[in-house]
Amino acid sequence: MATITLENVRHTYAPRPRGPQDWALKGIDLVWSDGGAYALLGPSGCGKTTLLNIISGLVRPTKGRVLFDDADLTDVPTDQRHIAQVFQFPVIYDTMTVYANLAFPLRNRRVPPAEIERTVRDIAHMLDLETELERRASRLTADAKQKISLGRGLVRSDVNVIMFDEPLTVIDPHVKWQLRSKLKELHRRTRRTMIYVTHDQTEALTFADKVVVMHDGMVVQTGSPVELFERPRHTFVGHFIGSPGMNVLPCRLENGAAYIGETRVAIENPPVRALDSQRLAIGVRPEFVTLAEAGLPVSIVRVSDAGRCRIVEARLGDSRIRLLAEDSVSIPDGSAFVRFDPARTRLYADDCLVE
Amino acid sequence: MDTKIQNQKGWLFVLPALALVALNAVIPLMAVVNYSVQETFSSNIFFFEGVKWFEQVLHSERFHAALARQLTFCAIILAIEVPLGVAIALAMPRRGPWVSVCLVLMALPLLIPWNVVGAMWNIFALPDVGMLGRTLKNLGVDYNYTQQPLAAWATMIAMDVWHWTSLVVLLAYAGLSAIPDAYYQAARIDGASSWAIFRYVQLPKMRRVLTIAILLRFMDSFNIYTEVLALTGGGPGNATTLLSIDLVKIALGQFDLGPAAAMSLIYFLIILLFSWVFYTVITRGEEAR
């Protein structure tokens, strides 16, 4: 059990990196506290797996350090780091039984047989694999195989962190939910640090206490699911989390007040000092935009039904804006006015929240 | 009513292949069957003899000896080439510029015509002239494959290993390259030793390709003719007279067409039987998992 610290970790796969585009990770500072349930969220190719492999030691970072508590483990090989990892596709040892699969990490570490027996039965019980113990692992379904991969991490008592690299990709949708709640339950029972990599916001938000959002080799925000939703610190987080994502509307500042077109918009974070940034924008989630008698003039383009509510798509000048409307609200044809909730409307300079 | 459209024209597409198979396999085989049950003296006069030639072949000491030599040869080369091939495949680089260099080097022996392989080794191993023979003599080894049966066998096996291990290497290498990285990563995380990785990850994943490699090597080595003929001609004495060499001696040397035909059929059935048994055993094993 340990706190894991990444210190200015940078990584490139190019032998001679030229520009920032060659870096898969562009300077990451993160602390994973012991016992936390983390999600690492980001689109494909943003460096999530690289970051995971750096923690597990499968990849050595080009620059920076990896610390477990106070020990520098940057150059320590994988098998001495006391970590476990579950991969995207279930990795099992085909020729072994389920029992032998679960016992494998312990046998390799020369744990006494009696203890192996006890631990394996215990973990099999937790994972509902007790009845399958004597079966060939290769004959099980994909989700049972994925449970075995997870079990191989859980049997070891010395594991600092269990990492999941998009582990539910190959699992049927109706079993996904079960496995996810199983993971959550296991986390509560074992109190092991877990890091869950995914590009699926639902998975990340339901599993984790803390979500780390990555974009283009950088961490753009770390926070609880609520914080990410309520107060995105980067327009990317606004886009990526929430469905539909946050509206980002170009604006300008005049005497400290924000204007879209000719209309003044009240914002939660008026800048306290002069901004020297080129691109200013207002970010507001569709949940906090309402149709009103007066306000910003828009023309409604499309209304689509999303079950409990409707998504209204409208044009505002040159940009597009979306809002959610309850079923009871009548939606006018053509032109209308919208209002933003001032407490949830924020100014972004060069994609970053103005603070 | 059957609403399926009956279109028999599809058979036309199969016809060329069928004709080819008929011409180069079925008709010759039937001709052999025909010879195997008849006696002929001259001028194309045939007498029906039933299973006489089969009985004669199956009871002949000479056939037994050739068969024993053949099986010994197959067993030895399989026992050497399969482990050696796997070992070489494991040692080959998995990525980088050396991969193609290694693959080309490995493929070279497979590209050389079989009789050239035999001729090469014949000269290479000649006691006084050949590089191998000369070197061994200078080292004080009493080696003369044209006179000593043991030396002849050693040379024959060395030749086959040189010629065919590459096939096992290439197949095993293909099997190894198909293993996703995650398996190695998981094994490292599980603290597996390199032996455990080989035993529980690489070997099980190579199972299919190794089955094919063993089948191919068995069938080919059971049929071997050209290389051995060019190397030793079956000698010294009959020491390296394998089944195929003996068969040709009977058929063309002595012109005993009936016994030769019976022998080729038995020969064919043995290969078929072994391959079938081997294939079923391996695939059964697979299904049971």
Structural domains present in chain A = 4-237 (3.40.50.300), 247-353 (2.40.50.140)
What is the pLDDT, as a whole number, of residue B289? 46
Phi and psi at residue B112, in whole multiples of 5°? -80, 135
Q: Rounded to whole angstroms, how far apart are CA atoms A79 and A103?
A: 16
Is pTM beyond 0.90? Reply is no
Q: Quick one: B216 exposed, middle or buried, by C-beta within 10 A (0-12, 13-18, 19+)?
A: middle
Residue A204 pLDDT class (50, 70, 90 cuts): confident
Question: Cβ distance B132 to B144 under 8 Å?
Answer: no
Residue B194 belongs to a domain: yes
Residue B41 belongs to a domain: no
Which of the residue ranges A37-46, A62-71, A277-286, B164-173 has the most confident prediction, judged by mean pLDDT? B164-173
CATH number where B122 lies: 1.10.3720.10
- Within 10 A of B84 (CB to CB), how many other CB atoms are there? 14
**What order of strands is seen across the sheet that includes strand A352-353?**
A247-250, A280-284, A346-349, A352-353
Residue B12 belongs to a domain: no
**Residue A45: which region, alpha, beta or left (left: phi > 0; alpha: psi -120 to 50)?**
left
Residue B35 belongs to a domain: no
Q: Rounded to whole angstroms, how far apart are CA atoms B264 and B246?
A: 10
Phi and psi at residue A210, in whole multiples of 5°? -135, 130
Residue B80 belongs to a domain: yes
Report the gap between the CA of A173 and the closest CA in chain B (Å): 23
Residue B47 belongs to a domain: no
Q: Rounded to whole angstroms, how far apart are CA atoms A107 and A222?
A: 38
In chain A, residues with a C-beta closer than 8 Å to the C-beta of B183 are 91
Share above pLDDT 90 across residues of chain B, in percent, rounded to a whole number: 16
Please report which residue ranges of chain A form alpha helices under DSSP H.
48-56, 98-108, 113-126, 142-154, 173-190, 201-207, 225-230, 235-240
Residue B283 belongs to a domain: yes
Residue range of the domain that includes B192: 63-287
What is the pLDDT, as a whole number, of residue B83? 94
pLDDT digits (tens, 9 = 90+) for A117-176: 898 988 888 888 888 888 888 888 888 888 888 888 888 888 888 888 888 887 788 888
In chain A, residues with a C-beta closer than 8 Å to the C-beta of B186 are 85, 87, 91, 149, 152
In B16-172, the DSSP E strands lie at 38-40, 46-48
Side-chain-facing half-sphere of A275: CA atoms under 13 Å:
24
What is the pLDDT, as a whole number, of residue B286? 60
ipTM over 0.95: no
Question: Cβ distance B217 to B167 under 8 Å?
Answer: yes
**pLDDT below 50 — which residues of chain B?**
289
The answer to which of A100-114, A264-278, A295-309, B85-99 has the lowest mean pLDDT is: A264-278
Q: CB-based contacts of B176: which residues, under 8 Å, 6+ apart?
A: B89, B90, B94, B202, B205, B206
Tally the domains of chain B: 1
Mean pLDDT score of chain A: 86
pLDDT digits (tens, 9 = 90+) for A23-56: 888 888 888 888 889 999 888 888 888 888 888 8
What is the pLDDT, as a whole number, of residue B142? 82
Q: In chain B, whose CA is at the least distance from the CA of A77? A: B188
Residue A345: pLDDT above 60? yes
Residue B185 belongs to a domain: yes
In B136-248, the DSSP E strands lie at none
Q: Which of A85, A93, A96 sits opposite B189 (nearest CB)?
A: A85
In chain A, residues with a C-beta closer than 8 Å to the C-beta of B189 are 56, 78-79, 83-85, 105, 153
Residue A72 pLDDT class (50, 70, 90 cuts): confident
What is the pLDDT, as a whole number, of residue B161? 93
Average pLDDT in the A4-22 region? 84
Q: Which residues of A touch B (CB under 8 A)?
A: 53, 56, 58, 77-79, 83-85, 87-89, 91, 93-96, 104-105, 108-109, 136, 138-139, 149, 152-153
Q: Rounded to whole angstroms, how far apart are CA atoms A102 and A116?
A: 9
Residue A9 pLDDT class (50, 70, 90 cuts): confident
Question: Cβ distance A78 to B188 under 8 Å?
Answer: yes
Q: Rounded to whole angstroms, how far apart are CA atoms B175 and A5?
A: 39
Q: Rounded to whole angstroms, how far apart are CA atoms A218 and A122?
A: 40
Average pLDDT in the A287-297 region? 87
What is the pLDDT, as a whole number, of residue B285? 63
What is the pLDDT, as a whole number, of residue B172? 93
Residue pairs between chains A and B whose CB atoms are closer than 8 Å: 58
Single-letter residue type at A164: F
What is the pLDDT, as a whole number, of residue B43? 63
Q: Rounded to whole angstroms, how far apart are CA atoms B254 and B245?
A: 13
